[in-house]
Structure 1
Amino acid sequence: MKKSLIAGAIACAFTPAFAEEVSTFDLGTVVVTPSRHAEPLTQTLQSTTVIAREDIEGAGQQTLPELLQTKGGVEIGVNGGPGQVSSIFIRGANSGHTVVLVDGVRLDNITSGTTALEHIPLTQIERIEILRGPGSSLYGADAIGGVIQIFTRRPVGSGFDASLGVGSDQMGRASLGLWQRWGGTQLNLRLAHESVNAPSATNDRATTWVYNADRDPYRNTSLNAALRHDVDARTSLGLTVFAAEGVAHFDAGTPGDALKKERVQSVSAYSRKRLTDDWASLLRLAQGVDDYRWINVNYAPVTSTQDQLTWQNDITLGRGARLTAGVEYVAQKLSSGTPYDRTRRHIASGFAIYRLDTGPHAMQLSLRHDENSQFGGHTTGGIGYGYRVSPAWRVTANLGTAFHAPTFDQLYYPNSANPDLKPEKSTGEEIAVHYAEAGREVSLTGFANRIRDLIAFDQKVKKPTCPWGCPVNVARARTQGVELAASLPLASQWRAVARATIQEAVNADSGRRLARRAEYYGSLGLNWKSGPWQVGAEVVGSGDRFDSINEDPSSHLPGYGFLNLRAAYAIDRTLTLAGRWDNVFDRTYELVKGYPARGSTVFVELRYLPR
């Protein structure tokens, strides 16, 4: 890589920018995403970051994509302010190369292949697990860059909490959570609403037929409910519902006010059963829905539905060995005003994950086969190894394959689709060194990913289903880089947290950089806690990018850096007053050409939570 790239990443890593987060080595943290089984974060073999509820509360009026942006290995693109279309890039992979789960349920839209993260409110989230690297052998199609799993809030016992916040641009946010336990039955209910009179989603760099200088308000209403009944010490039954509806004004060059109303929703019923002391089983029936409608603009509505069945078994084999195995079935259905050539397909899958811990050694093997009714079968695998050199030092290495299934738009959209498309495939590897001792935690990870059969549009290829050009499997991509994560105590009440990524994400055929991917980015944070006070600062920075596939100079997006400040004061054991000032110096920058990121904003919130 170029010297300037390395120098820039080092500068990004050691410039003050600060976000408190659960460390990769936090002894009290348990995760499930890296192996589909609950295990201490200290024992995971793949690079995993956890964002805890405390970090989410400190995020203030930030959106979910903005929160993810501060965590290493994740870049974002946002078409303007709150509620506008967002995309994420993990380790330089495409926006459709990440699986997003909400309480284990897929919520991606099958036409675009991405998840509407912009409509999932932070007030509903308990924690987030980010798995970086190939994950298809665990979760199937689309996990080329990684997996993001979101867990909604579900306190145990009986009580209630509430919050009320106001901020810049007439920002308002309110939430109310209620939970009650009767014997072996637990009920949770949470309602939330927020609105903001955001500035224009576009600027004069946008195409002339799009730009409109008016304001583009956004509002979001969400519901999270869960009912669990413990039949006995070995059996529990549950029902969960999550739904969020966002209404975003946007610029479409029309005289009237264009709006997009989108609803993301998941419903699941499950049974957890411990069949023996060494065998636990999960059976879950779920449905994920993404539905959007347009107002004052002539676009067709789309409803994406995925019915999902999972049967997973966790078996303890003894002598440090464990087997996780199961089957999954997904039925995808599309309903739209656009006459797609096909509107249904299904995927049947089987998977197995073997884990062995013996002495200082740890190993994980994973294998999965997905049989897609559209393009046939695809098998992926992964192998991970870890060695604890000493109580403080550990090294890990991983190798895995992954794939991305073509979307319904690429396969069946009228006059521009190619039903003969194959899946995009990848091979990725990483090697990491971890250190954790006396509250000091550092990890350094090198990664590489080679993606082939990338789908690109070619005007020269013509078929009856795409008479003016077709999407075809012609391109290749290569991503490689280094990630740094550190959490260090500076004094008894101070802690610094740093994350930085140096990467090269390019088209392997042309050598040109992939769109919206920077060569370096990261954050550095400083946190102070004393008595009832918590204070923090973070600087988030990124190098330049191009919003095109050919490094067109007119699409150049300059690098940026901005400072955020936050503070919280515990008035008593139940009441907290918190505030956040984002982009303190009102830096102007773009994540997408013609769509300005938010300027300086302030948010203040009062939270009631019984302890």
Structure 2
Amino acid sequence: MHRSIFTCLLAGTALTTQTALAQDSIALDPIIVSGGLTPVAAAQYGRAASVVTADEIQSRSIQYVSDALRLVPGVSVTRTGSLGGTTAVRLRGHESNHTLVLIDGVKVASPDTGAYDFSGLLATDIERIEVIRGPQSALYGSQAMGGVISITTKRAEEPGISGRAGAEVGSDGTHQVDLALRGKGARGDISFSASRRHSGGFDVSGTPGGEEDSALHRSYTLNGRYFLTDNITVGGSLRHVDRITDNDNFNFAAPTTAGLVTDSIAASTAQETYGALYLDATAWGGRMSNRLTYSFADIDRQGVDGTGTKDADNTGTRRKIAYQGTIALDAATLASASHTLTFAAEFERLTYRENDPTIVFGVGQLAKREREQTAYILEYQGDFGNGLALQASLRHDDNDAFKDFTTYAIGASYTLPNNSTRLHASYGTGVQNPTLIEQFGFFSDFAGNPNLKPEQSEGWDIGIEQQFLDGRGVFDITYFDETLEDEIGSQFDVGLGKTVPINNTGRSDRRGIEATARYDVTDRLGLSLAYTWLDASEPVPVAIGGTRNAIEVRRPEHELSLGVDYTLPNDRTRLRLDVQRVAGLYDSNFKTASFLSGNPDDDFDRVRLSDYTLVNLGFTHDITDKVQLTGRISNLLNESYEELEGYATPGRTMYLGLSARF
């Protein structure tokens, strides 16, 4: 029934399409592409957002997107030891599967867990990273309760054929090669890139004489568009990633920290393919735009345990079809409109299955599980011309397995008459559906719970952005407060002899402060700052009944990043110094026998990890206008630290790279 309604909606829109989008658009002011169903001018955006550009990634000689995200306020990153280890990103204290991750507009989270592992995402071909913090379900639905990370890969910008080739070598047997080819003509453009990075790694268990845990990442990206006529554009994107990562054993109920992670030959592999096809057109002489999109994701994973025996083989898929139409409310064309209304509809199907009958614990685990959802969205964007701008959105999700939900959000921005002070604020609600793993189980010691309710949240923030010294400096400080209900946790069921996911009673509270600042001291010297204070807790069940509040783990209370940029008088050499301070970081205490006995009181013990400071130094040097030398030293002071208890982290490492544009 829902699919029939959806099909009729698409057909009706296609019949009204008369003219098309212009071939080229020029953004005169910075915009937040993923801030709404249509881009929003950054100076008018009411929600808290940060943007990391390709230039910033290059100046820091960053090779992994997750390392770029460490410098963004409101973001916490944890990695299981070595480069290539599972990497989780959390926004404002939420779980990693509460963060929607888009690459070129395509959802890339694993269908079974709802989370995206950033370990294999290299930064070489990344043009832009947008981080939208706070509940965004009113636009994006489930998985966007904590916010959105939208990543855009590079496209052809220059007419004709262009490209880039690069190589890097460094510590731990690291070597990388990458290549990009791009073409742009009068009727369209196309871009292709490929990269391969191998790290010999180190022993993440910290065992004396232990085996080094290596990682190999290969990624390929293709995107392009073609202007069929002056009125209609078609385009698409395709991305494939292969990953091979060595792992070590994690031992629940180990007596000491040193025993939590032990050396082994365990390894995991993954093949990820994402893509989208779209058609853009306009109607009514340019007053209305239309977009029809089909997107997909296929993720296959395999693994072997510490004895070399196969212990994982599964497949997850996502299929999504979406329509979006935007109409100018106060002008003859969208380009000249100050007020717009966007309406959208989408249908999504998720599937997951175990593939190998020799490694499952029951025939039922081989069944292909699936879930469907239809959504309808409205968004208003308005610029009132007096410094005030509003964004408001409403979304209804029709689920086939859970209660239907309606979420909403509003954001406001007001620039004072002095044109140097801007106030911004937002309020929104969020929803997170149980994952397929939580719903169906799939493991011998973990039972699914089909009666789970979706998690729900509401949150607000308010902030001020202030320019000073004639625009040479700017700071932005935001206070946020969010509440999460029906948070999904876990509890040991004595009758089943298994751990079962449950909806916790009580509320999970998150509040904090996000601050950023930038100051161009001179034309050559620049300073930057990002700071987050986070107070996050969750209710956890206790053996005698009821709940108690506990600190959320793997989200530091304080995180401070300081940056210094300096360009040498030769105008070809740029230096970048980054200092990161992390304090108040907790992890679950897995060193208790309760993990074997099933005592829920001890399941939620916390252990505080040591505070630490990391110093990174990078440089770029333009040998010619097209050839560049890059280098960096990570963890310059060779700090010993932990992001997760029991996992060793890299010491001082050094890298040197060379790239050429043509």
- Give the TM-score normalised by structure 2: 0.83
3-state SS of paired residue (1:198)? strand
Relative distance call for 1:167 and 1:469 in structure 2 (3 A) is closer
Q: 1:382 aligns with which of 388, 402, 409?
A: 409
Contact preservation (8 Å) 2:530, 2:562: yes
- Report which stretch shifted further, 178-187 or 535-544: 178-187
State the distance in 2 between where 1:452 and 1:242 align: 36
For residue 256 of structure 1, report the CA deviation from its aligned partner. Answer: 6.3
Q: Which amino acid in the other structure matches residue 486 of structure 1?
A: A
For residue 467 of structure 1, report the CA deviation from its aligned partner. Answer: 5.7
Relative distance call for 1:472 and 1:367 in structure 2 (3 A) is same
- The equivalences for 1:194-233 within 5 A come to 194-203=197-206, 213-233=210-230
Aligned to 1:346: 372
Relative distance call for 1:237 and 1:346 in structure 2 (3 A) is same
Contact preservation (8 Å) 2:60, 2:619: no
Say whether residues 1:60 and 2:93 are aligned partners: no
State the distance in 1 between where 2:508 and 2:394 align: 24
3-state SS of paired residue (1:67)? helix
- The equivalences for 1:493-572 within 5 A come to 493-508=524-539, 510-530=548-568, 531-548=571-588, 555-572=607-624
State the distance in 2 between where 1:109 and 1:144 align: 16
For residue 264 of structure 1, report the CA deviation from its aligned partner. Answer: 2.0
Contact preservation (8 Å) 2:48, 2:133: yes
Contact preservation (8 Å) 1:212, 1:251: no
For residue 124 of structure 1, report the CA deviation from its aligned partner. Answer: 2.5
Aligned to 1:285: 294
Say whether residues 1:300 and 2:312 are aligned partners: yes
Aligned to 2:625: 573
State the distance in 1 between where 2:28 and 2:512 align: 27
State the distance in 1 between where 2:174 and 2:523 align: 36
3-state SS of paired residue (1:595)? coil
Contact preservation (8 Å) 2:84, 2:245: yes
Aligned to 1:468: 498
Relative distance call for 1:551 and 1:529 in structure 2 (3 A) is farther
State the distance in 2 between where 1:87 and 1:406 align: 18
State the distance in 2 between where 1:552 and 1:471 align: 14
Q: Which amino acid in the other structure matches residue 199 of structure 2?
A: V
Give the gaps of 5 or more residues in structure 1.
1-25, 205-210
Q: 1:332 aligns with which of 350, 369, 387?
A: 350
State the distance in 1 between where 2:127 and 2:396 align: 32
Contact preservation (8 Å) 1:363, 1:386: yes
State the distance in 2 between where 1:144 and 1:552 align: 23
3-state SS of paired residue (1:66)? helix
- Report which stretch shifted further, 334-343 or 581-590: 334-343
Aligned to 1:446: 479
For residue 58 of structure 1, report the CA deviation from its aligned partner. Answer: 3.0
Contact preservation (8 Å) 1:202, 1:212: no
State the distance in 1 between where 2:287 and 2:536 align: 44
Aligned to 1:313: 325
CA offsets 1:277-330 (integer angstroms, 9 cap, x no match): 121111111111222111324422121100011111122211621112111111
State the distance in 1 between where 2:522 and 2:224 align: 44
Relative distance call for 1:159 and 1:461 in structure 2 (3 A) is same
Aligned to 2:51: 50
Q: Which amino acid in the other structure matches residue 295 of structure 2?
A: A
State the distance in 2 between where 1:137 and 1:263 align: 31
CA offsets 1:362-387 (integer angstroms, 9 cap, x no match): 11111011112111311110011222
Aligned to 2:381: 355
3-state SS of paired residue (1:573)? coil
Contact preservation (8 Å) 2:472, 2:521: no
Contact preservation (8 Å) 2:512, 2:533: yes
Say whether residues 1:403 and 2:431 are aligned partners: yes
3-state SS of paired residue (1:511)? strand
Give the gaps of 5 or more residues in structure 2.
1-26, 251-261, 331-336, 540-546, 590-601
For residue 212 of structure 1, report the CA deviation from its aligned partner. Answer: 8.7
State the distance in 1 between where 2:586 and 2:271 align: 31
Relative distance call for 1:552 and 1:418 in structure 2 (3 A) is closer
Say whether residues 1:181 and 2:184 are aligned partners: yes
Contact preservation (8 Å) 1:212, 1:252: no
For residue 455 of structure 1, report the CA deviation from its aligned partner. Answer: 0.9
For residue 36 of structure 1, report the CA deviation from its aligned partner. Answer: 2.3
Bigger Rg, structure 1 or 2: 2
The structure whose RCO (Cα within 8 Å, separation 6+) is larger is 1
Q: Which amino acid in the other structure matches residue 82 of structure 2?
A: G
State the distance in 2 between where 1:31 and 1:597 align: 34
3-state SS of paired residue (1:203)? coil
- Report which stretch shifted further, 224-233 or 536-545: 224-233
3-state SS of paired residue (1:33)? helix
State the distance in 2 between where 1:565 and 1:305 align: 40
Aligned to 2:253: none
3-state SS of paired residue (1:96)? helix
CA offsets 1:341-380 (integer angstroms, 9 cap, x no match): 6611111111111111112211111101111211131111
Relative distance call for 1:256 and 1:591 in structure 2 (3 A) is closer
Aligned to 2:645: 593
Relative distance call for 1:123 and 1:590 in structure 2 (3 A) is same
The number of aligned residues is 576
Contact preservation (8 Å) 1:536, 1:565: yes
Aligned to 1:76: 77
Q: Which amino acid in the other structure matches residue 279 of structure 1?
A: M
State the distance in 1 between where 2:224 and 2:532 align: 41
Q: 2:169 aligns with which of 145, 148, 166?
A: 166
For residue 59 of structure 1, report the CA deviation from its aligned partner. Answer: 3.8
Aligned to 2:279: 271
State the distance in 1 between where 2:606 and 2:216 align: 33
